[in-house]
């Protein structure tokens, strides 16, 4: 079984080994450990299962080396799980790993989590701005502090490993993961990667390295994920090897030099070959040339996308250089198949030994053999660390430094806080929207303000700032008012999304959300000064919105501390500017809705706002009226002849829910969701790409239903062609033994149809 290998085009990748992690005594201990391990134990160490699909008993029986909690997965499936709940589950997995029942040397398990902007899967945690906002701060020291705070919050829950930082250099802003990147340019990514790793792990070669309150870092996704053609998630990067190093590799140079202990392989391809199966990149470049001696871990079932592989067969990826397989649900079959492939000679024992050695090396460096049970470690159970005042103050500061001022006609900002302020827009009092994706759930959906104890919405921050000065702030999402305001602040922007579900066809904002532009224009026409605050995970074409306001602030996805936005809008104390805008664009801004790839140093570089742009309040810059011709209008108009209800996630305005006789409506979020009465459960599964489908299981606990609902009117007139239809892809895994009904409901009535016979006639096991 051969994996893809490409000869180097005379590109020399730098050696980036951190001198602070070498330890001959540790290597001798590794020799001893490996001698006492069976093939089953070594392969077991290579498996990372998801907590919704694995138990401590499974860990004990199969010698599993790692677990993870994916976005929206919690102990007991409880989004509001406490620190004690997290620790109890961590103890359960740890205890099982230290007692395999065979009397062999115990090997502690390692637990990883997507702590990508704080400990974002955990109720009550501090949510920092997403990376796109941090890129605008230009402050590596701040990045180190944020990483250190995140590490302490992760350690408080007993988890060892953070899947961060993301080091993607984003070249096309249509990509749904744009906000996970610090910049379009390797300059900032290179400057941030080392400090981020040091904040999470500690400085290599010092006593703080992977000590109490520190967690293992992950440099991801190796390599080229931000450069896929047309900004398609998991697409193909056709950059030359020189460009791969010069543009996409610079963050790894400083991350590995800082001692990053794990590297996550990228979903994308390089010149048509999946990176998960690319031996030249994973082994030839990363391990041999760059000298990386830690763990190469796959992304979620990423090995299954390689030609000739599947979610239960990963020989190509292992031979290419992958050490640990993130196999959320199908890990049992994968484990058995991998053992069989070794015994059949498809995977060499030397490759298995190398993978196991790397995994054990990182576990030894992290002190997992000596630290004991997760609940007994220093910082464990430190509930006060989660969302602590210190961490929230740091996040609030990060918000202040990240905001970028694009327009400030007539010096309207900073506002006087003693005014009558109207706060409008659907983002003004929505903490989930201001946090974005990767927040409690994978897509960041299904949350409301009660899910963020201790956090502050942007409106709440404004209300406090205004009230303290004797002013008044009124919240009106639609912009209606009784008493004429002195100024209107309109907070609007993208709804939460993550990964490929956030991919776009164009960068037109008003084409997708015309109501926000109408709101701005209505207030402006009324003669009210308007301050626009944009929540976004990427640069967008917002020329009409820029024309319809007096000041325009890009707030990115600021996280849980909305008061940081208020600090900048009302930046004065007794007439003196205390907080002034310091954020500078780390992404160039498009002049056109189809200018989706506009990057500094491009030969035809011509943005609306260039890389590094950002006003201060005193800057006397008047923005001339911009063209409002939407070059994407035809694309958007054509797409409006169809409506996507579900595409990896429920699409706005739809929400996916389940219900039964106990509770009619349970929103579906995260990896698994079960109805209150237990009649129905759903889980995200892969279809072509990660998490693109939903598996539905009914039990004998009564009638259950899965449905899409809208919380606002949904007009379908534009879809009423000659033969309107609803199209879905279905795979029947078990034939129904009870009636299954399809129903369409609206205010004026309901229509239903029994589809039991149809489902029974479909072939099982195929889409």
**Active site (catalytic) residues:** 299, 499
Q: What is the H or E stretch that residue 161 is in?
A: strand 161-162
Which two three-digit tokens encode residue 522?
């209505």
CA dist., res. 21 & res. 262, Å (int):
13
Contact 396, 566 (CB under 8 A): no
Q: What is the DSSP letter of 679?
A: S
CB neighbours of residue 625 within 10 Å: 8
Concatenate the DSSP letters of all residues of 440-487 into one string.
SBSSS-S--GGGSTT-B-HHHHHHHHHHHTT-EEEE-TT---SSPPSE
Tell me how far apart the alpha carbons of residues 495 and 537 are, in angstroms, rounded to a whole number: 9
User: What DSSP assignment string belongs to 42-72?
Assistant: HHHHTEEEEGGG--HHHHHHHT--EEEE-TT
| Class of residue 285 by CB neighbours under 10 A (exposed 0-12, middle 13-18, buried 19+) | buried
Angle between helices 250-257 and 186-201 (to 10 degrees): 20
Q: Which two tokens stand for residue 92?
A: 């359960």
What DSSP string describes 246-293?
IIISHHHHHHHHTT--EEEEPSSEETTEEGGGBHIIIIIIIIIIS---
If we measure between CA atoms, which residue out of 351, 320, 93, 362 comes closest to residue 210?
Answer: 362
Extended strands (E) in 496-569: 530-535, 551-556
Instruction: Kindly report the number of other CB atoms within 10 A of residue 751's CB atom.
Output: 9
Q: Which residues, other chains included, contact 552 with Cβ-Cβ below 8 Å and sequence gap of 6+?
A: 405, 406, 407, 531, 532, 534, 542, 545, 546
- Rounded distance between C-alpha atoms, residue 577 and residue 567, angstroms: 11
Inter-residue contact 155 to 86 (CB < 8 Å): no
- Residue 735 half-sphere exposure toward CB, CA atoms < 13 A: 8
- Residue 109 and residue 59 in contact, taking contact as beta carbons nearer than 8 Å: yes
Residue whose tokens read 């009550």 = 124
Q: Going by C-beta distance under 8 Å and a sequence separation of 6 or more, which residues neighbour residue 584? A: 136, 138, 404, 612, 613, 614
**CA atoms of 196 and 281, how far apart (whole Å):** 24
Main-chain phi, psi angles of 118, to 5 degrees: 95, -175
SS (H, E, C) 592-660: CCCCCCCCCCCCCCCCCECCCCCCCCCCCCCCCCCCCCCCCHHHHHHHCCCCCCECCCECCCEEEEEEE
The CA distances from residue 283 to 132, 275, 461, in Å, are 30, 11, 50
Taking alpha carbons only, the member of 107, 224, 225, 120 closest to residue 163 is 120
Angle of the 140-156 helix axis to the 389-402 helix axis, nearest 10: 150
Q: Locate 162 and state its tokens.
A: 């953070």
SS3 call for 26: helix
Cβ–Cβ < 8 Å for 334, 325: yes
């Amino acid at each position: 079984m051969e994996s893809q290998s490409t000869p180097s085009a005379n590109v020399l990748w730098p050696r980036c080994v951190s001198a602070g992690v070498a330890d001959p005594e540790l290597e001798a201990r590794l020799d001893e450990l490996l001698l006492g391990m069976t093939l089953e134990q070594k392969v077991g160490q290579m498996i990372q299962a998801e907590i919704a699909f694995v138990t401590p008993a499974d860990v004990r029986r199969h010698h599993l080396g790692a677990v993870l909690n994916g976005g929206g997965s919690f102990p007991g499936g409880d989004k509001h799980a406490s620190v004690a709940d997290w620790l109890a589950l961590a103890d359960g997995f740890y205890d099982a790993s230290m007692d395999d029942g065979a009397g062999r040397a115990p090997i502690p398990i390692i637990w990883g989590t997507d702590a990508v902007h704080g400990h974002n899967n955990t109720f009550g945690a501090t949510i920092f701005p997403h990376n796109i906002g941090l890129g605008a701060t230009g402050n590596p020291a701040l990045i180190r502090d944020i990483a250190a705070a995140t590490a302490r919050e992760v350690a408080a829950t007993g988890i060892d490993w953070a899947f961060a930082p993301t080091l993607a250099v984003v070249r096309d802003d249509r990509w749904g993961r744009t906000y996970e990147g610090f910049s379009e340019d390797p300059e900032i990514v290179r400057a941030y990667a080392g400090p981020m790793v040091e904040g999470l792990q500690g400085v290599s070669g010092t006593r703080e390295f992977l000590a109490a309150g520190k967690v293992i870092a992950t440099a991801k996704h190796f390599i080229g994920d931000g450069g896929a053609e047309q900004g398609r998630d998991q697409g193909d990067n056709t950059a030359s090897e020189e460009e791969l190093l010069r543009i996409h590799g610079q963050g790894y140079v400083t991350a590995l030099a800082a001692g990053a202990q794990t590297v996550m392989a990228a979903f994308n391809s390089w010149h048509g070959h999946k990176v998960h199966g690319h031996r030249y990149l994973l082994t030839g470049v990363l391990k041999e040339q760059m000298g990386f001696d830690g763990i190469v871990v796959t992304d979620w079932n990423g090995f299954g996308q390689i030609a000739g592989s599947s979610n239960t067969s990963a020989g190509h990826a292992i031979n290419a250089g992958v050490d640990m397989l993130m196999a959320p649900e199908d890990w049992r079959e994968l484990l058995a198949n991998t053992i069989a492939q070794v015994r059949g000679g498809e995977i060499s024992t030397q490759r298995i030994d190398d993978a196991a050695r790397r995994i054990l090396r990182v576990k030894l460096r992290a002190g997992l053999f000596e630290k004991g049970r997760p609940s007994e470690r220093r910082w464990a159970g430190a509930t006060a660390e989660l969302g602590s005042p210190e961490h929230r103050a740091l996040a609030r500061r990060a918000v202040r430094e990240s905001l970028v001022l694009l327009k400030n006609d007539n010096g309207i900002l900073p506002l006087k806080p003693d005014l009558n302020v109207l706060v409008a827009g659907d983002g003004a009092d929505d903490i989930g929207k201001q946090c974005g994706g990767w927040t409690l759930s994978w897509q960041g959906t299904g949350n409301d303000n009660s899910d963020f104890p201790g956090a502050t919405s942007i409106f709440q921050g404004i209300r406090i700032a205004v009230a303290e000065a004797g002013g008044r702030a009124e919240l009106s999402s639609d912009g209606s008012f009784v008493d004429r305001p002195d100024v209107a602040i309109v907070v609007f922007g993208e709804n939460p999304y993550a990964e490929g579900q956030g991919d776009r066809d164009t960068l037109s904002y008003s084409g997708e959300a015309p109501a926000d532009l109408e709101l701005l224009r209505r207030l402006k026409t009324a003669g009210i000064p308007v301050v626009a605050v944009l929540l976004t995970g990427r640069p967008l074409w917002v020329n009409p919105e820029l024309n319809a306001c007096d000041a325009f602030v890009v707030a990115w996805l600021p996280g849980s501390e909305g008061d940081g936005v208020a600090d900048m809008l009302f930046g004065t104390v007794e007439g003196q500017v205390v907080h002034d805008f310091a954020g500078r664009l780390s992404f160039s801004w498009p002049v056109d809705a189809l200018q989706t790839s506009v990057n500094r140093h491009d030969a035809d570089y011509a943005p609306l706002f260039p890389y590094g742009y950002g006003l201060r309040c005193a800057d006397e810059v008047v923005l001339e009226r911009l063209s409002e011709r939407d070059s994407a209008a035809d694309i958007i108009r054509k797409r409006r002849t169809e409506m996507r209800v579900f595409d990896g996630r429920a699409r706005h305005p739809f929400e996916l829910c389940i219900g039964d006789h106990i509770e009619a409506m349970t929103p579906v979020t995260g990896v698994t969701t079960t109805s209150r009465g237990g009649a129905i459960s759903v889980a995200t599964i892969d279809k072509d790409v990660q998490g693109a489908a939903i598996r539905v299981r009914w039990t004998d606990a009564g009638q259950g239903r899965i449905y899409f609902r809208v919380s606002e009117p949904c007009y379908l007139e534009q879809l009423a062609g000659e033969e309107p239809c609803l199209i879905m892809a279905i795979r029947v895994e078990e034939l129904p033994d009870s009636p299954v009904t399809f129903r369409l409901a609206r205010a004026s009535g309901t229509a239903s149809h029994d589809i039991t016979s149809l489902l029974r006639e479909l072939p099982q096991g195929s889409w």
